Amino acid sequence: MILSAASQSGGRPAAPGNGAVTLDALFRSAVAARPDALALEDPPDRASFTDGAARSLTWAEADRAVSAIANLLRSLGLPSGAIVALQLPNVVESVLALMGVLRAGLIAAPLPLLWRQAEACAALGRVSARALISCRRVGEADHADVAMHVAAETFAIRFVCAFGNPIPDGIIPLDEVFDAALPAPHPPLDRRENAAAQIAAVTFDMTADGLVPVARSHRELIAAGEAVVAAVELQLGAALLGALLTSSFGGFATTIVPWLLSAGTLRLHQPFEPTVLRGQPWDAAVFPGPLLPRLAEAGLLNDAAGKTVLAVWRAPERMRAAAALDEARVVDVPVFGEIGLLALPRGTHGAPAQLPAPSSAAGGLEVMRNTSGTLCLRGAMVPAHPCPPGGPRGPQFNLGVGADGFVDTRFPCHVDRESGRLVLEGPPAGLVSVGGYRFALRDLQDVIAPIDPDGAVAALPDALAGHRIAGVGRDRGTIYEKLVEQGASPLIAGAFRDKRRASAA
């Protein structure tokens, strides 16, 4: 499929078009088209934050590793459609594990990297995850230990797998997928005719009412990636630098799917490591939008002529105030939670583009302002299911899907009188966004109250992260220790950490 696109579109990647293609089929097409081309490359500084030396894999080598992971998962007796959670840093294993889960006929549930025991247990218990893939460490955090505690508290999880060395007893090691004599690539699973309509991944959105698992089909994920590829004008075999974790819909749509559609090279990186990023070859790069000024100041965009930067805005209300950039072609990607995204190329002036007008379509996504004054989306990428069929249901899983198919993002907006376009007024009510992680203020307060009835949290504006969480209480040190014991996210616990004592240590 991809080869035929090169002959028909001047080297541009193919669009699945008929909506009948799965993500694994795209992967296999890339392997068939470019088996010896470089497919995946680790960050050069990988050893500084996780185990193992940096790896580089061709498409054929990646295919063998994906098959090995799929075969291992099948050997565990997991039924088709079972949910497998993944919590991995931005390294090649995260991509291989994701594709291995899909090849095994299972559903991937990528978890945010900073989630700890409390958040992971709450999310995975709701969707009845059957297995968890992690790694031994990320930085100073022992993620293998976190995975074991999550499995112990989540009844449905029966298997924990991990990359790294040494792996604690009770965890299935995965490093052998690179070293063992691997079998020939496994043929595709027999699927129903509507394979592309089956659920491929579940991501987790945060609303003021709580956590919402959002299920997406292969077709919906590919539609989102196609919108990004069209805006970037990505070519066949392009080099894509991915500095965004793929644990969300936005990361999936801007990194994984464009890589598969272009059958190119995906170089994984941390969001901002100037000494590592400088000199890396790329045709398109994916960065958090708020980091663009820092990248320009560091001189990383000086040689970006003819290249494209995707600026991903997890807090899209901040995009309008972004500084203009002349160093590179920029495509802004405002992401509305786990519901949908837009890919908006900047004009010659270098300032961010405006959102579309109400009742218009951009990249296959229709936008509308409802009677409550919030932004609603409809289109091929917008999810139709709040959680996989057969999963638990209830008001906490409400996506706000209207009878007309529009889904409420809960972002307040208005129509600009001069341009007639939509303008976001702020984040959804009751939510705090910290560097792409969203929290419900009510939930934060509910976590603090049992520890210290006089404790409280506040969300303060932050130029880079959107917000930062500040905590007060009678004994901030005790609150911090209790939150760590309970497995709370470092972003929450850190709000009560004694910064002066930590600096002295």
What are the residue ranges spanned by the domains of the chain? Answer: 2-408, 431-504
Separation between Cα atoms, residue 446 and residue 456, nearest integer Å? 9
* Residue 185, pLDDT score: 52
Separation between Cα atoms, residue 194 and residue 448, nearest integer Å? 47
For residue 247, give the DSSP letter: S
> Which architecture characterizes domain 431-504 according to CATH?
2-Layer Sandwich (3.30)
pLDDT tens per residue across all 505 residues of the chain? 222 233 333 454 545 545 679 999 999 999 999 999 999 999 998 988 899 889 999 999 999 999 999 999 999 999 989 999 999 999 999 999 999 999 999 999 999 988 888 889 989 988 899 999 999 998 888 889 999 999 999 989 999 999 998 888 999 999 999 875 655 555 555 555 688 889 999 999 888 777 889 999 999 999 999 999 999 999 999 999 999 888 899 999 999 999 999 999 999 998 667 777 777 889 999 999 888 888 888 887 777 778 899 999 988 988 988 888 877 889 999 999 999 999 999 987 888 888 999 887 777 899 999 999 999 999 999 987 656 554 444 444 567 677 788 999 999 999 999 999 999 998 888 877 776 677 777 777 777 888 888 888 777 777 666 677 788 888 888 888 888 777 777 777 777 876 544 444 4
Separation between Cα atoms, residue 143 and residue 43, nearest integer Å? 19
Separation between Cα atoms, residue 136 and residue 143, nearest integer Å? 5
Q: What is the CATH number of domain 2-408?
A: 3.40.50.12780
Per DSSP bridges, beta strands 137-138 and 456-462 are unpaired
Whether the CB-CB separation of 107 and 83 falls below 8 Å is answered with yes
| Residue pointed to by tokens 């390294």 | 91
Return the bridge partners of 191, or none. Answer: none
31-68 b/e (C-beta count within 10 Å ≥ 16 → b) = bebbeeebbbbbbbebeebbbbeebebbbebbbbbbbb
Separation between Cα atoms, residue 197 and residue 502, nearest integer Å? 50
Separation between Cα atoms, residue 97 and residue 108, nearest integer Å? 9
Tell me the Cα Rg of the chain.
22
Beta strands in 264-326 (DSSP E): 265-268, 284-288, 308-313
Whether the CB-CB separation of 142 and 157 falls below 8 Å is answered with no
The answer for residues whose C-beta is within 8 angstroms of residue 266's C-beta and 6 or more apart is 39, 40, 41, 95, 240, 242, 255, 259
- In terms of Cα–Cα distance, which of 391, 398, 451 is closest to 124? 391
Number of residues that make up the chain: 505
Whether the CB-CB separation of 377 and 340 falls below 8 Å is answered with yes
| Residue pointed to by tokens 């709701």 | 126
Q: For Cα atoms 398, 401, 406, give the angle at the middle one, nearest 5 degrees.
A: 150
The answer for residues whose C-beta is within 8 angstroms of residue 492's C-beta and 6 or more apart is 439, 444, 447, 457, 469, 483
The answer for residues whose C-beta is within 8 angstroms of residue 25's C-beta and 6 or more apart is 1, 188
Which of 368-374's residues contact partners 24+ apart within 8 Å by CB, and which partners?
Answer: 368/406, 369/413, 369/414, 369/415, 369/422, 370/402, 370/406, 370/408, 372/408, 373/412, 373/413, 373/414, 374/408, 374/409, 374/410, 374/411, 374/412, 374/413, 374/428
The reported pTM is: 0.88
Whether the CB-CB separation of 101 and 74 falls below 8 Å is answered with no
* Residue 54, pLDDT score: 92
| Residue pointed to by tokens 């949908």 | 340
One-letter identity of residue 233: E
Q: How far apart are the first and last CA of the chain?
A: 57
